[in-house]
Chains A and B, each alone.
Chain A
């Protein structure tokens, strides 16, 4: 038995948690020191969430124990964890849109102080930590980054010893990420420990002091991120080496997809209108659109897939106006799409993979003749997709909802790629997908481009866009920035493009 060294804040020893059919955490032990930023790394399903839920009192471990500053620590519920000084900022915010910032903060506290005091405290904390936030603003009007600040401030008001952050940067622009990192470094300098969960390896390298890597529920490695390459960490996560997408060198050919001054009203109360979007994608080219979620990505996808038809003369496929055509006609013309939401939009959850193959490939692959479905051919096509894109599933009869996120994503992207489209539009192709699967999906997109397809990738993952796109543009409030060759871009320019201040500022920087 080793004793706690003085600067150990939280010590986990042998934490084990099993769910029916899967061991989520198997004998996980590591220490978090006072005032360090500790990264928890792992693929989806590696057991990160279960582990932090045990620390935060949401899940009880089957075996193992925790000590907090040397004292036994076994929170039975989150409020006990908070009392002990452990706070958590979740990936998905739990805020009420109709209430203001102070009210939302008060709702998350055990004994909220009177409103005026609380507003003062919020202002103090927000100034101390460089998180500008007005306590009287209605949460519904805040950006994702500002919402996250509400959650962080709610935690900081409890003066935690350990702050857990689950994928905090997935919704932020690069500038907002910088602000967040400043805040976290300041917290660290004051002695607060931070457990930082992410799969963005470059972030972890710049921010974190130590990293613990989980794979299949087990701790497999620890490292000092600043001294380890991103690639090495990725390989520790995956447990094997994988090929980074090979760079491609093709000269763009003719224009296959042209969008001409596309303007559309928002589809509903919470949608974003599209404002004067124009661009072209050429054969063999990958065009990447970045932007913070909710700036018109989904609306653009609906317009390109034909789920919402657009005004005449706005969308052209291989020189023909397809603006008024529905999804079936657009697929026939060679324009395929893969929406962001896998379950419920790209695939029907309760239907088998074979049935889901018919969903978009029915006509193009000859799975339907005279209105009758040839299930044998459909099954064959689904099997091809599974084999070619390494979808891990017992078979084609399995319901889509039974697949893990990454495997289903490989299936729905693979389903489109396997149809050899002339144009492929994908939204968030690797969202929530583990590193190896993400690399495979990106490689498939690049291979398709090198065969002469025009590809549009809409993604919030800037690293992804910089890796595979030839040209980059950003969506902001339904507008598209000017498009720039990726080779000429740096992070600062991208941030400005995403913030909507594209043309002038960038021109200024270049001047």
Chain B
């Protein structure tokens, strides 16, 4: 019989080892899955994990994509992870990301075609405020009426998606766009464009912001009393109240921060890689970031690595679809496996496996 025995304290070694084990298990079982659908497992795994970075032909294109995709994932996941640490489950980052893009783009477009170096900073602030404001809806409802932030924030995603559809064919539509939906191209207006800081790397302002967010979140959680209060709230809510942490303030801070970061991620996307507000702007970054946050153990450095890994499976997945003709659903399944194994083997951090005769105690 196999028994689980609670460790006296969480194992540090397993905290680091479980994500690696999860990736290995995903490769193993994903490989079996690819084998079953008639694709060579080794080729599939190589195409997903290796080719995007080192393929002689495609790597030049796909390598910068790594940072382009990882940037928003990391930025959003950092915000989410801080809330998750406190037990505040913001599932609506996708909506906050969309609202940040809409508000930031609207602030810029209101000044078009003026030229000023202040326009992009203004748009960033407006984007952050847009995401923050959208996150304040579930936050205030929770504080005031005790509503469930999971449901409210999730449902607001669908509201945001409809708003996006509305403004891209209405308010923010490009007047010179011959009636097509979608705003002016913000990446081609020199005042709003968010270009690569180092050509050929994919490193744009949003990626830089994500890296800064990683550092600041690390400092917040390990050195600052606010981060301590957040961790305490998540570990033991009653102990946090005893320490004097206000639950309401923690909710407002965590949701607000996550919203602002998601909003900024949306703004950087709309002024850079995406270029314009359009109906299909929402790309699911807000949802994938939840996976990234957990994959990274809700730890800033972990999230940095997890964001890069997740981006790699995205790019590699697309490459596999293109090169090997595997169905898109198999790639989603593969990504789902990653989260599944991660959460599954997480039990090893707090428990040790004992094989032998069990007993009642």
Contact = CB atoms under 8 A, between A and B. Distances in A.
A498 B232 CA distance: 37
Contacts of A402: 8-9
B359 A345 contact: no
B85 to A, nearest CB: 12
Interface in A244-290: none
A406 interface: no
Contacts of B243: 327-328, 359-360, 362
Nearest to B237: A344
Contacts of A143: none
Interface in A344-379: 344-351, 355, 358-360, 362, 368, 371-373, 375
Interface stretch (A52-60, A446-454, A484-492): A52-60
B229 to A, nearest CB: 10
Contacts, number: 82
Interface stretch (B32-40, B61-69, B218-226, B292-300): B218-226
A60 to B, nearest CB: 6
A119 B134 CA distance: 61
A358 B361 contact: no
B242 A305 contact: yes
Contact of B232 (A326, A331, A359, A372): A359
Given A20-B5, A59-B360, A351-B235, A339 B242 contact: yes
Nearest to A369: B225
B16 interface: no
Interface in A316-345: 326-329, 331, 337, 339, 341, 343-345
A345 B244 contact: no
Contact of B225 (A77, A350, A368, A401): A368
Given A351-B235, A355-B228, A331 B244 contact: yes
A328 B239 contact: no
Nearest to A327: B244
Contacts of A327: 241-244
Interface string B321-354: 0000000000000000000000000000000000
B244 A344 contact: no
Given A59-B361, A372-B224, A350 B242 contact: no
Contacts of A362: 225, 243
A350 B9 contact: yes
Nearest to A326: B244
Contact of B238 (A345, A398, A399): A345
Contacts of B238: 341, 344-345
Contact of B242 (A20, A58, A349, A359): A359
B246 interface: yes
B200 interface: no
B68 to A, nearest CB: 35
B204 interface: no
Contacts of B10: 350, 399
Residue of A20, A58, A359, A398 ringed by the most chain B CB atoms within 10 A: A359
Contacts of A60: 359
A25 B211 CA distance: 56
Nearest to B238: A345
A348 B228 CA distance: 12
Main secondary structure of the interface of B (DSSP, over half): helix
A331 B243 CA distance: 10
B236 A349 contact: yes
Given A359-B232, A373-B228, A347 B239 contact: yes
A375 B225 CA distance: 11
B184 interface: no
Interface in A385-427: 398-399, 401-402
B225 A348 contact: no
Contact of A371 (B226, B239, B360, B361): B226
Contacts of A341: 238
A347 B236 CA distance: 8
B232 A348 contact: yes
Interface residues of A, number: 40
Contacts of B173: none
Q: For chain B, give the interface size range.
A: 20 to 34
Interface string B1-30: 000010011100000000000000000000
A305 B243 CA distance: 9
A351 B232 contact: yes
A399 B9 contact: yes
A42 interface: no
A339 B225 CA distance: 22
A328 to B, nearest CB: 4
B225 A372 contact: yes
Nearest to A362: B225
Contacts of B246: 326
A235 interface: no
Interface string B242-269: 1110100000000000000000000000
A399 B361 contact: no
A275 B175 CA distance: 70
A282 B257 CA distance: 46
Given A326-B244, A344-B238, A59 B359 contact: yes
A371 B229 CA distance: 11
Given A59-B360, A350-B10, A372-B224, A307 B241 contact: yes
**In the complex, which of the residues B238, B244, B246 has the most CB atoms of chain A within 10 Å of its own CB atom?**
B244
Nearest to B227: A373
B8 A401 contact: yes
| Best-buried of B10, B225, B242, B246 by chain A (most CB within 10 Å) | B242
Contacts of B361: 53, 58-59
A97 B224 CA distance: 45
Contacts of A306: 244
Contacts of A305: 242
Contacts of A375: 223
Interface in A193-208: none
Given A59-B360, A60-B359, A328-B244, A346 B239 contact: yes
Contacts of B360: 58-59, 77
A326 B229 CA distance: 15
A401 B239 CA distance: 13
A303 to B, nearest CB: 13
A401 B9 CA distance: 7
B244 A372 contact: no
A401 B236 CA distance: 12
A180 B243 CA distance: 41
A339 B246 CA distance: 18
A358 B228 CA distance: 9
Given A337-B242, A350-B235, A360-B242, 5 more contacts: A307-B241, A326-B246, A345-B242, A351-B232, A360-B243
25 contacts: A20-B5, A53-B361, A59-B359, A307-B241, A327-B242, A327-B243, A329-B244, A331-B244, A339-B242, A344-B239, A346-B239, A347-B239, A348-B236, A349-B236, A350-B10, A350-B235, A355-B228, A359-B242, A360-B242, A371-B224, A373-B224, A373-B225, A398-B9, A399-B9, A401-B9
The 8 A-B pairs of least Cβ separation, nearest first, read: A327-B244, A328-B244, A399-B9, A348-B236, A402-B8, A348-B235, A345-B238, A348-B239
